Amino acid sequence: MRRRVSNDMSGGKVVVGREPSGGLVVETEVDGTADGPVDDTVTDRGTTLVEILMSIVLIGLVVTSILAASHAGIVASSTVYEAGQVETVLLNAGDRVHRAPQRCEYEEYVDAAALAQGWTVDATSSSVELLVANTGNPSADWEAQTCSGSVSAFDVQRVTIIASSPDGKITRTLTVVKSNVD
């Protein structure tokens, strides 16, 4: 048996060695008395099936939660992207209506904004109301404009533009007040 002798902090000697069988033998001597060999042979029996299954379950839970978070991020991102497209069409339509000459309907300008985005004209609609009174009551002040007569330069119009995403999940509305008063 190979032995190594060293002094420990208590002033005694510690003898460490290996037996031919591979076991570790530790003998300590404090104040001249030896307490005998200590055998702390360690054997590794491996892991059990339960430990392996628990590891697989825990790893599966972590991977599942990461995938769920990634999916939620992708869905949120695509929803925000679609909302941005709807708002782009809406603002484009509002700008086209604002720059158009005053008339009794603006559907062709609103449709042009949808077509510029690559959408069908069914994704947008507009309605035109005329200011008939100024009482402060919105339901009494505005009425739907008919195309029976010409539009006067002093007419104040409220054009409501509605745009929906192609899948119909997102709908936004924009109101433009228009007049030719210089």
How many domains does the chain divide into? 2
Of 19 and 64, more confident: 64
| Per-residue confidence (pLDDT) for residue 14, from 0 to 100 | 55
Residues 124 and 158 in one domain: yes
- The domain in which residue 95 lies consists of 49-178
Query: Does residue 66 lie in a domain region?
Result: yes
User: 158 burial class (0-12, 13-18, 19+ CB within 10 angstroms)?
Assistant: middle
Structure tokens given for 31: 């104040």
pLDDT digits (tens, 9 = 90+) for 36-60: 555 556 566 778 899 999 999 999 9
Both tokens assigned to 128: 């035109």
119 in the same domain as 86: yes
User: pLDDT (tens digit, 9 = 90+) per residue, 2-29?
Assistant: 445 444 455 555 555 666 666 665 555 5
Q: Identity (one letter) of the amino acid at 84?
A: G
pLDDT at 90 over 70: yes
The residues with which 33 forms a beta bridge, in sequence order, are 30
pLDDT at residue 103 is higher than 60: yes
In the chain, pLDDT over 90 holds for what percent of residues?
42
Q: Is the pTM of this model over 0.85?
A: no
Residues 90 and 173 in one domain: yes
> Hey, how many other C-beta atoms are within 10 angstroms of the C-beta on 96?
19
